[in-house]
Each structure stands twice: as C-alpha cells, then as structure tokens.
C-alpha cells in the first residue's frame, strides 16, 4: 500500500470531522503534486506512534503518527484484546484531563472496551491522573487508562496505561508494552475502526471514588493527639491550566490547611494553555504568574501542579532571586520529602525502602544510609520507582514524588503537596522556614548540587548520533575534570535491563548521565556533585562550582 493509499484508507474510517477534513485537504494537495503535502503525508504515515512504556503520546492530528480518534480506537481495541487474553472477565477504569479531545478519547475507549466485553468504568468528569491511579486499586480493576499528555506542549495528547492485580496499579513496563503494541497492530492491520463493536453499556463511576481519594490523601497530614503542632503558612496555588484545583482544594480543606490564594489566570482547565509556552513548572516563565500573585498576596510558599497534577513544584521567597522567588528543584524537594519519610519510618519502627530513578540526586541514598534504611536506584520513570518492593517513598528529579505507595502506585502531585505543606507548617511552629530546613539537611547529609542540559532536536537522527558518538569515543575528561569510569547500559548494567544510557563517573565522585528523553525529542544530561567539606555555605559553593564546570563541558560536547 502506498502512502497515499494509506492516507485515504485512514480518512475513510476517521469519525472526527476536524481531522478528516485536515487529511482530505492534504491528500488533495498531494494529488495535485504539492511537494509540501507529499512530505506531510510521509511524516504522518511512514511511521506510527508506538505503544511503549509511556503508552502513547504525540501531537494531535490526522495520521498514524499523530494522536487522533482512529489511533486511540485502535489502541483501545488492541488493549481490550490483550486484557481478554489475560483473564476471562477483565475490567478497566478510564480517566481523562482537560486537554483537547481527552474527553472524546476517553469516551471512545469506554465504548470500545464495553463493545469487546470488558467491564468499563469511566470516571465522572475530568480529573487528575493520581485519582485514576488511585481508582485502579480502589475499584480492584484489571487495568486503567488515563488520557493525558501531562506537561507536554499544548498540541499533544497521550494515553497512559496501568495494570491492576499483581501489578498493584503501576504503569506498564516491558514486555507488556510490546505485547499491547502487537495486539494494537493486529487490530489496525486487519480491521477498519467502523467495523469494531461499540457499546454504551459502560459504567460511570460515582463521586464516592473521588471522595475516597480526597479522604485518603488528606489523612497524610498528621492531626489530632500526638501530631506535631502546625502554624498555617499563607500559600499560593496554581493548576497550570490543568485539572488539579478542584480535587486539591478539597484535599487541602480536609487536611486542615489554610485556603490558598490561587493564580486566577491558570486555575481553570484550558487545553490551549494560554499563559505558558510549555505547561511544565520546570520551563522558564511557566511560574512567573505565580511569583507575581504570591508577592502581591504576601504568601510564604507557592504550590504548583502540572496540568494532570501528578507533578509538584515548590517555590519559596528568596531576596537574591530575580523575581524574589526561588523554585526548588525536583531533587531538592525529593530530598526533603525523603528525609521526612525516613523520620516517619523510623518513628514507626518499621523496615521499608527508599528509591529514586538513577538520574535523580544521590541525596536520597545518603538519607537512607543515615537512617539504616535500604535504598534502590531504578531506571528513569515512575513505572520503575513504583514497582520497588517494600517501598515507603520514592521520587524522580522531574518533580515526581510518591509519598504514599499504599494509596497510589504512581507519582502524585497532590499527596506530595499535602506532605510538604504539613512539613512547612511544622517548621513554622518552630519559627523556621523551608530554607532553614534545607540548610539543616546540607549540614547533616552534605550539600548536593545538580544541573541539566536538555537538547531539543527537530531532526530525530541527531539523538542516536549523539549517543553513538559519546559511546564510541567517550571523553577522557569533561572541562578539565577526569572521567574515572564509564558505565554503558546499552546491553544491561548490573540489575538494569538494556537501556540507552551512559553514566560518567568523575574524579572526586561527581557523575554525568546522558540519555534520550522517553517522551520528547530531546537528549538529556543530568549532572550531580556533592560536598561534605567545610560549613554549609562552603559545601554548597564547592558542589555548585563542580556542577557548573561539568555543565559547561557537556554543553560543548553535545550542542
């Protein structure tokens, strides 16, 4: 089948008038000999969004290499086939956020699942990803689907899959992702989607699911007899145009926190994300409105969720920062919440494990060592962190934190906010701030510094070329710092399966990790260093200087 034939076949089964008209126009131009249109067809149909360990994620539009109703329907039918092959009476819960077409993709999935004989439960409205992850375990279903692209650019959407049962509500990992992909291809290669059975006989979950999540999450904040005293700290909250606010507000109230001041321009769901170029709190400028709001309100803290509320960003007042506010890195928040978790575990007298993705700061491993707790590094992604046996707390540097694995087996930006707000309130009762607590951390465990270099590409061939260059001719030094060891994960490394990751150990203990992004066209570099020499300021200066030198060296190597 030629690319043009594939495009016509896709058009003929597309139930969406918008993408159908989009594709019809491109086909007409291509048949008229327009080179741009021909190239557009090849871009859309020469490849297909693969169903990987992040599920599906890509730009909205017509074609097999885009997110659209045809692709999602094929994915739902393939996932249904996979589930029916695993058990005789499978069930699934489906959630969606506020991105363009998320509700449509969720409804298509529910109808296809019900038509295939899978018990399907649709969440009652747009809700955060953590509510869906919670619902998989709470409802005891076989699987869950969340329609979201998390913090990706506005024109993206995605399809994230969780498994219940022996997977305990975690995201899919290999080899299940490949098995689902094969089932999807089996549907796509043999059946037009208008031939797939559909049914409206799916369930819509009641409000009790959301209420159960709210109650379980609010319970993370200690209160009542024996709880540490808390002083309310005025804070600002932004949903980053996502779906976090409704549920977060209910959780904050139930946990006894003060009502926050909200960033009004970003509080309601809006799939166009009008105030940010990228709806990711890590991106430059994304939290500027939060800083303005917090300064005006006289707040002492900023809480930001990403659009599906599975990530958490924190900012604190800092007179030396350009906006008067400093956003803590994911590593900084992860270390502080990890310290809190270690204290909690020790007080309860139980054995448990801490874990972080291997690109995250080694600070958490030092916390575990100090408290006599076991610790694990995992591959990048919460699908790996959440599967660590005996896990009590886990995090990844990309603003992801898991503070209550018994409730949700995924990162959860709302429960992490509860734990952080409780900590800040306890510190305030002692006359201390989060910045003071960071200094105490650095004094006890050492000062840790980190940085990232992120290279976004338009030519996807550059990513494997960069990795091959570093692999075939690894640097002997980086900006004058000698490389003492190179760990190549391409054929597996220790307990890790084969992965496209390179780790460089430097003289003095610093490290540099390079890998392709799993969700965006990027090469990512993670740099970490630490110091235990001198007072806190001297430790911080030494660690930051080493990171800065390595960052400069890596930019010269890959950009």
Which residues are tagged catalytic? 150
How is residue 329 written in tokens? 């890195």
Place of tokens 């998390």: 150
Identify whether the C-beta of residue 423 lies closer than 8 Å to the C-beta of residue 336: yes
Take residue 99 and report the two structure tokens written for it.
């991105």
Among residues 377, 383, 398, which one has the least CA distance to residue 517? 398
At which residue do the structure tokens 């699934």 appear? 92
Q: At what angle do helices 434-445 and 363-371 cross, to 10 degrees?
A: 70
Tell me the C-alpha distance between 66 and 297, whole Å.
Answer: 42
Match 């589930």 to its residue by tokens: 83
Q: What is the C-alpha to C-alpha distance for residues 93 and 136, in angstroms, rounded to an integer? A: 6
DSSP sequence for 350-406: ---EEEEETTS-THHHHHHHHHT-EEEEE-SSHHHHTT-TTEEEEEETTTEEES-TT
Decide: 385 and 396 in contact? Cβ < 8 Å: yes
Pairing of strands 156-163, 143-147: antiparallel
CB distance 363 to 393 below 8 Å: no
Cis peptide before 152 (omega within 30 of 0): no
Rounded to 10 deg, the angle between the 244-255 and 413-429 helix axes is: 40
Measured CA to CA in angstroms, residue 436 lies from 416, 424, 443, 535 at distances of 20, 11, 11, 14
Q: Are 187 and 74 in contact (CB under 8 A)?
A: yes
User: Buried b vs exposed e over 59-94: b needs ≥16 C-beta within 10 Å?
Assistant: bbbbbbbbbbbbbbbbbbbbbbbbbbeeeeebbbbb
**Residue reference for tokens 């009542």:** 224
Distance CA(84)–CA(134), nearest Å, equals 23
Residue with the two structure tokens 């990711």: 280
CB-CB contact of 119 with 92 (8 Å)? yes
* Tokens read off for 257: 């926190």
User: What is the 8-class DSSP label of residue 376?
Assistant: E
């Amino acid at each position: 089948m030629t690319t043009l034939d594939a495009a016509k076949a896709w058009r003929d089964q597309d139930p969406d008038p918008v993408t159908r008209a989009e594709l019809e126009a491109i086909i007409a131009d291509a048949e008229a000999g327009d080179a741009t249109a021909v190239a557009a067809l090849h871009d859309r149909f020469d490849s297909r969004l693969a169903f990987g360990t992040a599920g599906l994620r890509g730009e909205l539009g017509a074609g097999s290499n885009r997110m659209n109703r045809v692709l999602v329907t094929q994915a739902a039918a393939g996932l249904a086939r996979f589930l029916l092959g695993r058990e005789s009476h499978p069930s699934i819960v489906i959630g969606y956020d506020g991105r363009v077409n998320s509700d449509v993709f969720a409804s298509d999935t529910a109808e296809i699942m019900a038509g295939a004989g899978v018990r399907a439960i649709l969440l009652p409205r747009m809700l955060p990803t953590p509510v869906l992850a919670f619902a998989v375990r709470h409802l005891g279903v076989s699987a869950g689907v969340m329609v979201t692209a998390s913090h990706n650019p506005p024109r993206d959407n995605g399809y994230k899959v969780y498994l219940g049962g022996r997977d305990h509500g975690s995201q899919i990992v290999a080899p299940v992702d490949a098995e689902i992909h094969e089932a999807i291809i089996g549907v796509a290669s043999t059946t037009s989607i208008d031939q797939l059975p559909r049914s409206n006989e799916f369930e819509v979950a009641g409000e009790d699911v959301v209420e159960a999540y709210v109650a379980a999450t609010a319970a993370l904040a200690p209160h009542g007899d024996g709880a540490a005293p808390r002083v309310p700290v005025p804070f600002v909250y932004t949903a980053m145009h996502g779906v976090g606010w409704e549920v977060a507000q209910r959780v904050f109230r139930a946990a006894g926190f003060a009502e926050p001041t909200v960033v009004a321009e970003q509080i309601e769901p809006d799939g166009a994300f009008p105030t940010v170029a990228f709806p990711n709190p890590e991106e430059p400028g994304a939290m500027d409105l939060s800083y303005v709001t917090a300064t005006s309100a006289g707040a002492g803290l900023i809480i930001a969720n990403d659009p599906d509320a599975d990530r958490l960003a924190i900012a604190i007042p800092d007179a030396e920062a350009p906006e008067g506010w400093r956003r803590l890195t994911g590593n900084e928040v992860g270390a502080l919440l990890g310290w809190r978790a270690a204290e909690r575990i020790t007080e309860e007298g139980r054995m448990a494990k801490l874990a972080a993705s291997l690109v995250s700061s080694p600070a958490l491993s030092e916390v575990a060592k100090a408290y006599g707790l076991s610790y694990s590094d995992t591959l990048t992604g919460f699908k790996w962190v959440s599967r660590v046996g005996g896990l009590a707390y886990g995090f990844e540097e990309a603003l992801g934190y898991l503070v209550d694995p018994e409730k949700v087996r995924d990162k959860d930006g709302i429960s992490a906010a509860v734990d952080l707000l409780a900590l800040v309130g306890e510190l305030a009762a002692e006359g201390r701030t989060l910045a003071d607590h960071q200094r105490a951390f650095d004094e006890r465990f050492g000062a840790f510094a980190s940085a990232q270099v992120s290279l976004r590409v338009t030519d996807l061939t550059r990513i494997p070329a960069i990795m091959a260059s570093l692999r075939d001719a690894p640097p002997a030094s980086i900006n004058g710092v000698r490389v003492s060891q190179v760990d190549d994960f391409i054929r597996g490394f220790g307990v890790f399966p084969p992965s496209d990751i390179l780790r460089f150990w430097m003289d003095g203990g610093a490290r540099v990790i390079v890998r392709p992004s799993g969700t965006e066209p990027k090469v990512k570099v993670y740099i970490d260093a630490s110091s235990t020499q001198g007072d806190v300021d001297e430790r911080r200066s030494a660690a930051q200087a080493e990171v800065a030198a390595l960052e400069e060296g890596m930019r010269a190597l890959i950009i």
